[in-house]
Structure 1
Amino acid sequence: MELNSFSHGYGQITYHLVLVPKYRYNIFYNKRIKKDCELIFNNICNEQGYKIHALEIVDDHVHLFVEFHPSNSLSEVVQYLKGGSSYRLFKLHPELKKRYWGGSLWSSGKFYRSVGNVTADTIKHYIKESQKKSKAESKSSKSMKPGQRIIEDF
């Protein structure tokens, strides 16, 4: 994975997402539903400009490793994935409506974790080092407010 240049920024937004069907039913044991779900997620991501790095569908949940543009929020991405896949799977497999009579295929929750090429320790070190440089510059200015703390205080 690499960093991307955008109109006003440079970076990468990737997430590991886990989506679970409502009531954690094992609907993906059905190979046809599983394959259709995989195709639907690929289509949604292509339509929305998301990039799937990995996709795994097991009997009772879905793992997605997805990258998207910084103008999209995580909530928006999950909404497109869950809403779009639910709608399309119900159209392709009307028998699912018997099990999910309320109209919702996915549980209301989600698991998400941002994924990147650096560790938390690397970021802490970077911030600490940049703080030392600016600390030396700002000692003469004494512009800190009473009670204000620096990163090293934590």
Structure 2
Amino acid sequence: MLELRSFSHGYGQITYHIVLVPKYRYSIFYNKRIKKDCELILNSICMEKGYKIHAMEVVDDHVHLFLEFHPSTSLSKVIQYLKGGSSYRLFKLHPEMRHQYWSGSLWSSGKFYRSIGNVTADTIKHYIKESQGKTKTEAQS
């Protein structure tokens, strides 16, 4: 179970399942060196930016990330850093990739993301419905 964290002005949790897909859905990660370098680079970017990786899987034609990050950081910025940073570093390590990705961008422009939490949508709806109009003390009991 994921733990709630305390921040300077709040308490909570921001976790997402993010999927990054290479342009044209090429299976570039079948190459074990490129796959390993992608894992190391994404780990490095997450450490630099303060993102916590709960899980990561690099498969032949896409990458799954289960990330947690500070609430002041927008999801679009997180994805921008991951895509931009990894693309730049992978092209630097593997210049031969430029033959497949002649446009200079490794990742497709689209993205998949889903917020992840410890409770279901029904639990949230029930909580909101039951605490509606109650005082703070009544809602906690």
**TM-score (structure 1 length as normaliser):** 0.85
User: Which runs of structure 1 show a deviation greater than 4 angstroms over 4 or more consecutive aligned residues?
Assistant: none
Work out the number of aligned pairs and report it.
134
User: What residue number does 2:34 align with?
Assistant: 33
Mark the runs of 5 or more structure 2 residues left unpaired by the alignment. 136-141
Q: CA deviation at 1:10?
A: 0.1
Matches within 5 A, 1:1-154: 1-133=2-134
Give the letter aligned to residue 129 of structure 2: K
> In the TM superposition, what is the alpha-carbon distance from 1:130 to its structure 2 partner?
1.4
1 CA distance for matches of 2:94 and 2:40?
14
Give the corresponding residue for 2:138.
Answer: none
For each residue in 1:53-96, what CA deviation from the matched residue of structure 2 results, as whole angstroms up to 9, or x when unmatched? 00000000000000000110000000000000000000000001
Q: Which amino acid aligns with 1:102?
A: S
SS of the equivalent of 2:105 reads coil
CA RMSD of aligned residues (A): 0.8
Specify the structure having the higher radius of gyration (Cα). 1
Cα deviation, residue 106, structure 1: 0.1
Amino acid at match of 1:93: H
Percent identity reads 84
User: CA offsets per residue over residues 81-126 of structure 1, 9 Å max, x none?
Assistant: 0000000000000001111010100000010000010100000001
Q: What is the alpha-carbon distance in structure 2 between the residues aligned to residue 66 and residue 5 of structure 1?
A: 17
TM-score by length of 2: 0.93
- Aligned partner of 1:73: which letter? S
